[in-house]
Structures are given as C-alpha cells and as structure tokens.
Amino acid sequence: MTPSPSVEGFFDPATHTITYLVADPASGAALIIDPVLDFEAAAGRVATTSLEAVLARIAERGLTLERVLETHAHADHLTGADEIRRRTGAPIGIGSRITEVQKVFGVLFEAHDVTADGVVFDSLYADGARFALGSIPVEVLHTPGHTPACVSYLIGDAVFTGDTLFMPDYGTARCDFPGGDARTLYRSIQRLFALPPETRLFVGHDYLPEGRTDFRWETTVAAEKAGNIHIGAGRTEDEFVALREARDATLKVPALILPSLQINIRAGALPPAEASGKRFLKLPLNAI
C-alpha cells in the first residue's frame, strides 16, 4: 500500500499561492513546499507573516522540518525559502535546471552576485532523484513547459505540481516565459496522468473561475484526466498547443514577475546591500 503523507495547505490571498506543509505521520518528519515571503510592492516592503504561520504550525504539531522544496523559480510571488533556511537550518532543494533560469534572469537584472550554477540552493534535483520523508518515499519528476526547470514532487500517494496543473476548472500553466513551451508542457502532464488515478494532486495556485466561490487546491489524477478544461477528456497534443498558445497571447505579464524573479533566482535571499546598507530591486525598462 502506498504511504500517505499528511498535507496542510496555507493559502496566500495576495498571490493566490498555496504553501504546503507535508509530513510523515509515523515519524513527524516534515517539509515545506513553495513558501511565500510577503511583499508589499507599493512600499517596497517584505514581511514574514505567511511563513511564520507555517513554522508555528510545525511547532504546534511537534514536527521536525527536514527540507524546503521549490517547484520552480516563481514569477508571481517571492519565496520565503531562504528565510526559513536561516531560521531553521533546513536545506533548500529545487530542480537542477534552475541554472538555465538563473542564466537568463541573472543577465536581465545584471545580478553580478548570481552565478548560474545553482549554488545558492542546497540540493539540485535531477529527474528521478529520490530521497525519503521519514518512512515515505519522495521522487522528483521533471515537468517542464511552464519553465524549463519545473519539477513536481511525488510524495507517497500525493504529487505537488507547482504551476504545471491547476484545478480542473481552471486548467494549466502558461507557457510564454523564457524557455517555456506548450508542447513540452503537454508531455509533462501526460507523465502525471500516467500515475495511479487515485493519486492525490496538489496545485500551486488557485484562482476563482466563473461559477466557483471557494478556493481549492486538492484534486486527483483521475479528476484532471477527465475534466481539466485545457488538457482533459482526451485532448490531443496539437489541440492543446493551439489552445494554450492562443490563451497565452492574451495574458498580461504577472504583476510581481520583476521583483519575484530577482529574489527567487537567489533562493529567496535579498540582493546584496549597497554601501548605505540599503538593498534595492531593479526595474529594467522595456526588457520583457
């Protein structure tokens, strides 16, 4: 029988992001997936309210935090991974192709402190990498398409997809970021669809499509295959690519893409301080 981790989702209404606390009930070993660092763009202010709620829950349950995992370098929120590492010592893991994202955006932001080698993260996971959460096996699945570095984490009977798949009534990730590709995304999702139909599936964001008033983030492989509005019900690869590319052509640039990516390629660390002690985010003009 496939072991089943306990999963708690912490929804951030400002960015529609779900941070997951995943634990092995037998041992109390825990990990955090895609933590949020709060950011007030108008004031240029960061805060740790969201991640403190997760850490408080870990303490309340008496869990032992072993890792922080990122599904990719997010374009819609700042990651709290580095802050958690500094507070707890928990190492940060991410897909090994993060180096490609660091290379592109390190150049864009002229971030001379960022080297495209992933060393700011503690673990770079290749496709198929395995480790354990207590008694529960974890496998890293490379699921590119949204970005070239996206991974999903298969933890016992649960898979955490980041931005690859959303709830069935909302669809799939956009593919118009550097290195993104709709055809690649289709094939990545087929890999998830090959998992047992009862596999629990936890998405990275939820938005409210027309007709729904409650936020949701848990579904199943079977439900996605049957009813995902972009890729379910047997949609072919060519049909999906046409739909996805047409939809992407209508989408605006994410509101936090510039601040978030220059933090997230640093694993959540803030840019180096200037001589004054102040830290600055860059806003490259006419660059994307």
> What is the DSSP-derived secondary structure letter of residue 58?
H
Residue ranges of the chain with per-residue pLDDT less than 50? none
Given this model, what pLDDT does residue 99 score?
A: 98
* Residues 123-141 pLDDT 10s: 999 999 999 999 999 999 9
Given this model, what pLDDT does residue 288 score?
A: 80
- Domain residues of the chain, as ranges? 6-263
* Residues 51-87 pLDDT 10s: 999 999 999 999 999 999 999 999 999 999 999 999 9
Given this model, what pLDDT does residue 287 score?
A: 86
Please enumerate in sequence order all residues whose Cβ is within 8 A of that of 187, keeping only pairs 6 or more positions apart, or say none.
145, 237
Q: How many angstroms separate the Cα of 138 from the Cα of each of 97, 135, 200? A: 19, 10, 14
According to DSSP, the residues that pair with 11 across neighbouring strands are 18
Domain 6-263 fold is Metallo-beta-lactamase; Chain A (3.60.15)
- Indicate the SS3 state at residue 190: helix
